[in-house]
């Protein structure tokens, strides 16, 4: 079973994710990347946890692709 991307404890630095960037919210276009920093402070968020990817882009996690071992 996949981890819930709306729960902060499931989103950690090093995890590969699919995010929707702010500029892509209207279209829902997803961008793949690796989490550098978790920006959401609350334990969960209905639209996805906000993260900064390693390349500096910021978006909300829509899917966890691969957990860090």
Domain ranges of the chain: 8-66
* Alpha-carbon gap, residue 44 to 26, rounded angstroms: 22
| CA-wise closest residue to 11 among 32, 38, 31 | 38
Give me the percent of the chain exceeding a pLDDT of 70. Answer: 94
Task: State the CATH class of domain 8-66.
Answer: mainly beta
Amino acid 1: pLDDT: 47
Mean pLDDT of 15-30: 96
């Amino acid at each position: 079973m996949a981890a819930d991307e709306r729960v902060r404890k499931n989103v950690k630095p090093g995890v590969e994710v699919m995010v929707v960037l702010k500029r892509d919210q209207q279209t829902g276009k997803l961008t793949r990347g690796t989490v550098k920093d978790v920006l959401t402070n609350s334990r969960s968020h209905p639209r996805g946890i906000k993260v900064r990817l390693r390349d500096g882009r910021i978006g909300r996690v829509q899917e966890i692709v691969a957990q860090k071992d």
